[in-house]
Structure 1
Amino acid sequence: MTPPARAAAAVEILDRILAGGPAEKELTNWARRSRFAGSKDRAAIRDIVFDGLRRRRSAAARGGGETGRGIVLGLLRERGEAPSDWFTGGTYALPPATDEELSATGPVTEAETLDVPDWLMTDLRRSLGEDYSPVLNELRARAPVTLRANIARMDRAAAQARLSEEGIETEPHPLCTTALRVTEGARKIRNSNAFIDGLVELQDAASQAAAAMIPVPEHGAILDYCAGGGGKALALAALGATIVAHDADPIRMRDIPERATRAKIGSKVTVVKRILEGERYPVVVLDVPCSGSGAWRRQPEAKWSLTPDRLDELKDVQAGLLRRAAALSSGAIAYLTCSLLRAENEEQVAQFVGDTHGWTIREERRFSPLEGGDGFYAAILVRESGA
C-alpha cells in the first residue's frame, strides 16, 4: 500500500471508532476485510490510528474537524508533513485538503493542546501539581516497549544477551531490576525464542516496580484478587511467591496457566473462579479497575470514553474491593492502580484507613510517566497486630 492509501484506511478506521467502535475491534475488522494489506501496512495504519487517538483534540483542531479525515490531516500538519503528499486524490487515496481545512488554526485551550477532556483538567492539575503539563504531554506520545526478565529462569543481563542474539536490543530500565527497555527490534518480540520460551514477558516498567513492592510471605499464598491477564501474578511467582489468581471475569485469566507453564512457574500459580467462604491470605493484591489515566498512551480511547459518572462508579468499586480485601487478608493488602488521579489513589487509601479499624499505610509510591513507565500508584496496607 502507498502512504496515501494507508492514510485513507486510517481515516476509515478512525471514523468507525469515533462512531463508538472499540479500537482493537475496528482494526481487526479492517484487516479481515483487507487481505491485500501486508504486515507492514497493518502496522503503519495501526500507528496512525493510535497516534490520532492519543492526540485526538489537538489533531482535530489542526485538521478542521473531529473526524477521521480531520485527525489524520491534523497529525500531518503537526509533524510538518505536506498534506498534498498524502491527500492526493488518486486511486485509493483521499481527496486533497481544502483551503478551509488548511486554514484551521490549531488548538486554542490548554485541554485541547494537552489532549484531555475539559472536565478532567482540574482533577489532573490537582493530582499532578507542577508536573501536570509535562506528564500530559508525555501521554500524547507512544509508550515505550518494556520487557520483564523472568528471573526464575535467568537474570536480566542474560535475558538481554539472548534477546540481542535475535536482533532485539535492550537496555536496563532504572525503575526495576527486572525491567528492560527495548531500543530496537520491538516488532520481533512476539516471534522471538526468548519470548516463546518464557524468558521474557511484555510488562510496563512501573507495573514491574509496583509488583516488586509487594511483600512475599514466608508461609501461605498471595491472593491476586483482580488478576486480569496475570502480569503481576507471574512477576510475583518468578520472585518465589505462591499465587492464587482470581478475577470477577474468569475469561480474563484464560491465558495465565499457559503463560505460567511457558515461564516454568506453573506449580506456583493456581487459577480459581471463586474464593471459598472463610478463606484468608497473608497478602491480598488489588490491581483495581480504574480510569486507566496513567496508561493513556497504550489505551488512548479510554481517555475519551471516561465520564464523571463512570469515574464515580469506579471509585465505588475500588472502595468495595478494599472492604472485601480487608475480610480476605490476615496481614497485608497491596492496592494498585494505573491512574494519575488522587481520588483513585491517595484519597481512596486514606478513606479506607480512616474508616476501617486496624489498618495502616506502610508504604505508598506514585510512579510518573516521566520516569519512563506508565503512570502507576501502589500502596502497601498492613493489619495492625491484634486487629
Structure 2
Amino acid sequence: MTPGARLAAAIGILSEAETTRLPLDRALERWAKANRYAGSKDRAAISAHVYDVMRTRALLADRMKSEAPRALALAALKLAGGKSVDEIAALAEDGKYAPGPLSEEERAQLEGAGPAGPHDPRNLALNYPAWLDPYVERAYGEALERELAALNQPAPVDLRANLLKTDRETLQADLAAEGINAQPTYWSPWGLRLSSPRRLRGLKAIREGEAEIQDEGSQFVSALLGAAPGDKVIDYCAGAGGKTLAIGAMMAGQGEILACDVEGRRLKRLRERAKRAGLFNIAVEELGPGGLTGMEGRADRVILDVPCSGTGTWRRQPEARWRLTPEGLIRYSGEQAAILEEAAPLVRPGGLLLYVTCSLLREENEDQIAGFLEKHAEFETLPWSACLPEGWPRPGEGAADFLRLSPASTGTDGFFAALLGRAA
C-alpha cells in the first residue's frame, strides 16, 4: 500500500468505529479481514495512526475545529507524527487510493495547529472530555496529571497461566519455543507479560487452555476473593468469564461456580473457554428481570464485576473516553446500585461480597459502597487484602479498606475493589 492509501484506510477505520461504535481493535480487525492484500507493515502503520488519533483526539479536534475522522487523521500527522503541512498535503494526494487534496480550510487549520501550551485547558494535553474535569479531579487530586498521562500510553499484553494445566515457568518456556519473549508479572504470580504485542489466538497454549489473555490487574482482583476448593461462588456479572476462569483455577476445579450475565452470547463463550481450560465445575445462567432467584443465602462468595465507565481501561480502549457521556455515567451508577441490591441477598451469613469496577471514578466506587452500607447494616467493609493468598505482593501502603490499581501506580489496567463481609 502507498502511504496515501494507508492514510485513507485509517480515516475509513475511524469513520466505521464512530458510526458502528465498535471497539477500535474490532474495527481494525474487520478492516484487515476485508483487505487481506494489506501486509503486516501496512496493518501496523494503519493501526499506529488510528491509535495516535485517539490518544491525542482532544487536542486534534480543538486545533482543527472539527471532530470529523479526516480532520483528526490529518492533524495527527502533524501533532503526533511531526510532519509538515506540505508533507501532509503530498500524502493526501499520493495516488488514486489516497484521501484527496487538502481544502483551503484544512490547510489553514493545519498551519496554525500547535502542541498544547500552558494556557490551554488541561484536558487537551491529557486527552479527556472537558465535562469529566471535576470527576477526575475528585478521583486523583494532585496525582491527576501523572495518572491521566499513563492512561494515554499503549497497553501491554498479559497472559495468565492456567495452573490446572501448567505453571508459569513452563508456560514461559513454551512461549519462548514459539519465539515469544514473556517476563513474569510482578503483582500476579500467575501472569506473564509479553515483551511486544502480537496476535495470540493461534498459540498452542491458548488453543489448549494452558493460558488466557488477561490483564495483570484483572488477575490480581480475581485473587482477592480468596476462593478455595469446595466453595460455592457466584460470579454475578461474568461476561466472557476472564475472572470466572481465574477463580476456578484458584479452586483447583473443585466446588461450584455459577457464572451469570444478562447477555447469553457472552456466556456461550465462557462455556467454550471453561471446557478448554479443564474447568467442569462452572455452570452458567442468563439473568432475566429481577436477577437470580432461588439462591438466596447460599453463596460463600459473590463477585460483582459491575458494568462501568471503563475509565481504567482507557489506554487499552482510548475510544471509550469519547463515548462516555454525563447521562451514561449516571446510568452506570444506577445499574451498579441495582446490582448490589440484587446480589447482596445471595451471600450466606459469614460469606463475602467482592465489588469490582474497571473505573477510576469515585462515583462508581467509594460512593457506591458508602450508599450500599447505609442500607445494609448486615455488611461491613473488610481490608481488601483479607483473603489475598499468602505470598502475593500488596500494592500501596497503609491500611486502606479499598484497593485501587492504575497504569501509573501499578502498571496494570485501572481497577477498584472493595471486600465486604456479611455478619454471621
Question: So what's the TM-score if we normalise by structure 1?
Answer: 0.92
Q: Which residue in the other structure is 2:37 paired with?
A: 36
- 1:93 pairs with one of 88, 91, 98: 98
Are 1:269 and 2:282 counterparts? yes
Aligned-partner SS, 1:126: helix
Tell me how large the CA RMSD over aligned residues is: 2.2
Q: Which residue in the other structure is 2:412 paired with?
A: 373
Structure 2 letter corresponding to 1:130: E
- 1:360 pairs with one of 374, 380, 403: 380
Q: Which residue in the other structure is 1:306 paired with?
A: 324
Aligned-partner SS, 1:76: helix
Whether contact under 8 Å (1:168, 1:189) holds in the other structure is: no
When residues 63 and 194 of structure 1 are mapped into structure 2, their CA distance, relative to the original with a 3 A threshold, is farther
Aligned-partner SS, 1:190: coil
Q: Which residue in the other structure is 1:253 paired with?
A: 267
Structure 1 letter corresponding to 2:423: E
When residues 258 and 16 of structure 1 are mapped into structure 2, their CA distance, relative to the original with a 3 A threshold, is closer
Note the C-alpha offset of 1:255.
Answer: 1.1
Whether contact under 8 Å (2:200, 2:206) holds in the other structure is: yes
Are 1:123 and 2:135 counterparts? yes
Instruction: Provide the C-alpha distance between the structure 2 equivalents of 1:260 and 1:122, rounded to a whole number of angstroms.
Output: 42
**Structure 1 unaligned spans of 5+:** none
Q: Work out the number of aligned pairs and report it.
A: 383
Aligned-partner SS, 1:168: coil
- 1:189 pairs with one of 200, 220, 223: 200
Instruction: Provide the C-alpha distance between the structure 2 equivalents of 1:357 and 1:2, rounded to a whole number of angstroms.
Output: 65
Are 1:334 and 2:338 counterparts? no
Whether contact under 8 Å (2:267, 2:286) holds in the other structure is: no
Instruction: Provide the C-alpha distance between the structure 1 equivalents of 2:44 and 2:213, rounded to a whole number of angstroms.
Output: 18
Q: Which residue in the other structure is 2:153 paired with?
A: 141
Aligned-partner SS, 2:247: helix
Question: So what's the TM-score if we normalise by structure 2?
Answer: 0.84
Note the C-alpha offset of 1:81.
Answer: 3.1
Aligned-partner SS, 1:303: helix
Note the C-alpha offset of 1:51.
Answer: 3.1
When residues 205 and 80 of structure 1 are mapped into structure 2, their CA distance, relative to the original with a 3 A threshold, is same
Note the C-alpha offset of 1:210.
Answer: 0.4
Instruction: Provide the C-alpha distance between the structure 1 equivalents of 2:108 and 2:17, rounded to a whole number of angstroms.
Output: 26
Instruction: Provide the C-alpha distance between the structure 1 equivalents of 2:61 and 2:115, rounded to a whole number of angstroms.
Output: 8
When residues 88 and 308 of structure 1 are mapped into structure 2, their CA distance, relative to the original with a 3 A threshold, is closer
Note the C-alpha offset of 1:38.
Answer: 3.6
Instruction: Provide the C-alpha distance between the structure 2 equivalents of 1:113 and 1:88, rounded to a whole number of angstroms.
Output: 26
Whether contact under 8 Å (1:63, 1:73) holds in the other structure is: no
Note the C-alpha offset of 1:29.
Answer: 5.2
Whether contact under 8 Å (2:3, 2:94) holds in the other structure is: no
Instruction: Provide the C-alpha distance between the structure 1 equivalents of 2:22 and 2:110, rounded to a whole number of angstroms.
Output: 27
- 1:322 pairs with one of 340, 353, 377: 340
Instruction: Provide the C-alpha distance between the structure 1 equivalents of 2:158 and 2:191, rounded to a whole number of angstroms.
Output: 7
Q: Deviations for 1:132-186, whole angstroms, at most 9, x for unmatched residues?
A: 11111111121111111112222212211111111111111112111211103x3
Whether contact under 8 Å (2:79, 2:114) holds in the other structure is: no
- 1:209 pairs with one of 220, 223, 226: 220
Note the C-alpha offset of 1:218.
Answer: 5.4
- 1:229 pairs with one of 228, 240, 246: 240
Structure 2 letter corresponding to 1:104: A
Instruction: Provide the C-alpha distance between the structure 2 equivalents of 1:88 and 1:326, rounded to a whole number of angstroms.
Output: 57
When residues 163 and 89 of structure 1 are mapped into structure 2, their CA distance, relative to the original with a 3 A threshold, is same
Structure 1 letter corresponding to 2:404: R
Q: Which residue in the other structure is 2:398 paired with?
A: none
Note the C-alpha offset of 1:278.
Answer: 4.1
Whether contact under 8 Å (2:241, 2:270) holds in the other structure is: yes
Whether contact under 8 Å (1:59, 1:106) holds in the other structure is: no
Q: Which residue in the other structure is 2:7 paired with?
A: 7
Note the C-alpha offset of 1:32.
Answer: 5.4
Structure 2 letter corresponding to 1:277: G
Note the C-alpha offset of 1:43.
Answer: 4.2
- 2:111 pairs with one of 77, 102, 124: 102
Q: Deviations for 1:256-304, whole angstroms, at most 9, x for unmatched residues?
A: 1221122222x12222225442442111110000000000122222211
Comparing 233-242 with 17-26, greater Cα deviation is found at 17-26
Instruction: Provide the C-alpha distance between the structure 2 equivalents of 1:209 and 1:273, rounded to a whole number of angstroms.
Output: 26
Structure 2 letter corresponding to 1:101: L
Instruction: Provide the C-alpha distance between the structure 1 equivalents of 2:33 and 2:170, rounded to a whole number of angstroms.
Output: 39
Are 1:178 and 2:198 counterparts? no
Note the C-alpha offset of 1:109.
Answer: 1.5
Structure 2 letter corresponding to 1:343: E
Aligned-partner SS, 1:270: strand
Instruction: Provide the C-alpha distance between the structure 1 equivalents of 2:270 and 2:417, rounded to a whole number of angstroms.
Output: 23
Comparing 71-80 with 210-219, greater Cα deviation is found at 71-80
Instruction: Provide the C-alpha distance between the structure 2 equivalents of 1:253 and 1:353, rounded to a whole number of angstroms.
Output: 30
When residues 264 and 172 of structure 1 are mapped into structure 2, their CA distance, relative to the original with a 3 A threshold, is same
Structure 2 letter corresponding to 1:261: K
Q: Deviations for 1:90-118, whole angstroms, at most 9, x for unmatched residues?
A: 21224357244222234421111111111
Structure 2 letter corresponding to 1:73: L
Q: Which residue in the other structure is 2:59 paired with?
A: 58
**Structure 2 unaligned spans of 5+:** 385-401
Note the C-alpha offset of 1:126.
Answer: 1.0
- 2:365 pairs with one of 323, 339, 345: 345
